[in-house]
Amino acid sequence: MKTLRTLLFPFAVLYGWVTGFRNYLYNKNILKSTEFNLPIICVGNLSTGGTGKSPMIEFLIETLQNDYKIAVLSRGYKRKTSGYLEVLPSHTAEETGDEPLQFKKKFPNVTVAVCADRRTGIKQLQKKTEVILLDDAFQHRKVKADTNILLTPFHDLYINDYMLPTGDLREPRSGAKRADIIVITKCPTKVPYSKLQEIEFVIPLQNHQKIYFSTIGYDDTIYGKAESLPLDYLIDKKFTLVTGIANPKPLVDFMKNKNFQFTHMKYADHHHFSSEEIERLKKEELILTTEKDFMRLQHKIDKFALYYLPITTKIKNGQEQYFKESILKRVEAKFKN
């Protein structure tokens, strides 16, 4: 696979030129971005998937929801519906996409909508909300966000990556200049401060940019359809870990460090489970999955032994409160203008 990607390098150069030229047109205002009169916060990345966008969206909801009416707008990746759709808890992942449904079930008082055309979605939402969070929209330059948050994983920094199809970048590394905040996600719980300083030194920060480091926090409870149990319930239990996410390694490592006994069934990100795969899963006695995967499996596996483990974003180095305050200040500044 690596050899094939190397052979495709000329196509990566071409793709990089096309996306770079598109950015140039937007940067020069030849192509126009639409600006709205309410705060819009965009969360995204330069690479394809697996950077921690969903927990960051949830972190922002928790930061803002006590002070503002929040709406989340996503395209609803792999949904079977089209156009603008407000997400209801009664929807299925096939109708809305797994992540939007996850947001709505976790935060029922927050408006969540899906729409491939973000401008159309924003026009619908601005009638009923005060702040809009754009999920995975860093490349959606038809909208001018007030705050752009760029995520890049600790073990796979964008500065070490290449354009598709040789690497995983959706646009050239220079696109990072548009970010207001860069978050190095999925940092190890214990990492030398010198290593974080090294990363901060090699990331080419602009004068207007601020960098933060975050890690994954795991809940101490697993949740099912009808009950919740302490995570330690899994001690001395043999179970199947089912993942359909871009990078399950941090979760697998966490499970191994807990000395749990499990079999891992790995699927592609946002995987739609076939009827044959569902029948196979139904034979498992105990299944643990991610919250996102649970959205796709809960209506297909009618058994109590299906649970998920939530994750959260935690800002490292005592910077979490400062991060939250900076977000609040950016939102307040928009209302003052």
Which pLDDT score is estimated for 337? 73
Could you confirm whether domain 2-217+315-336 is CATH 3.40.50.300?
yes
> Which tokens hold the place of 231?
């995570």
pLDDT above 70: residue 178:
yes
- For residues 2 and 275, which has the higher predicted lDDT (pLDDT)? 275
Span 280-292, mean pLDDT? 94
Asked if the peptide bond before residue 204 counts as cis, ω within 30 degrees of 0, the response is no
Which pLDDT score is estimated for 8? 79
Say if residue 100 is exposed, middle or buried (CB neighbours under 10 Å; 0-12, 13-18, 19+). buried
Q: How confident is the model at residue 6 (pLDDT cuts 50, 70, 90)?
A: confident
pLDDT above 70: residue 4:
no
13-27 residue pLDDT tens: 999 999 999 999 999
130-177 residue pLDDT tens: 999 999 999 999 999 999 999 999 999 999 999 999 999 999 999 999
Q: What percent of the chain has pLDDT over 90?
A: 91
pLDDT above 80: residue 5:
no
Query: What residue spans define the domains of the chain?
Result: 2-217+315-336, 220-309
Q: How confident is the model at residue 226 (pLDDT cuts 50, 70, 90)?
A: confident
Q: How confident is the model at residue 318 (pLDDT cuts 50, 70, 90)?
A: very high
Q: How confident is the model at residue 1 (pLDDT cuts 50, 70, 90)?
A: low
The fold for domain 220-309 equals: Rossmann fold (3.40.50)
Q: How confident is the model at residue 2 (pLDDT cuts 50, 70, 90)?
A: low
Provide CB contacts within 8 A for 44, sequence distance 6+. 53, 134, 136, 137, 138, 139, 148, 149, 150, 151
Handedness of CA 29, 56, 260, 221 (dihedral sign): negative
Query: Kind and range of the H or E element at 18?
Result: helix 9-27
Span 54-63, mean pLDDT? 98
* CA 134 centroid distance within chain: 11
Phi, psi (rounded to 5 degrees) for 20 = -65, -40
pLDDT above 80: residue 304:
no
194-204 residue pLDDT tens: 999 999 999 99
Residues 222 and 307: beta-carbon distance below 8 Å: yes
Say if residue 300 is exposed, middle or buried (CB neighbours under 10 Å; 0-12, 13-18, 19+). middle
Which pLDDT score is estimated for 115? 98
Tell me the whole-structure pTM to 2 decimals: 0.95
- Report the alpha-carbon distance of residue 67 to residue 61 in Å, rounded: 10
- ∠ CA(22), CA(139), CA(128), 5° rounding? 125
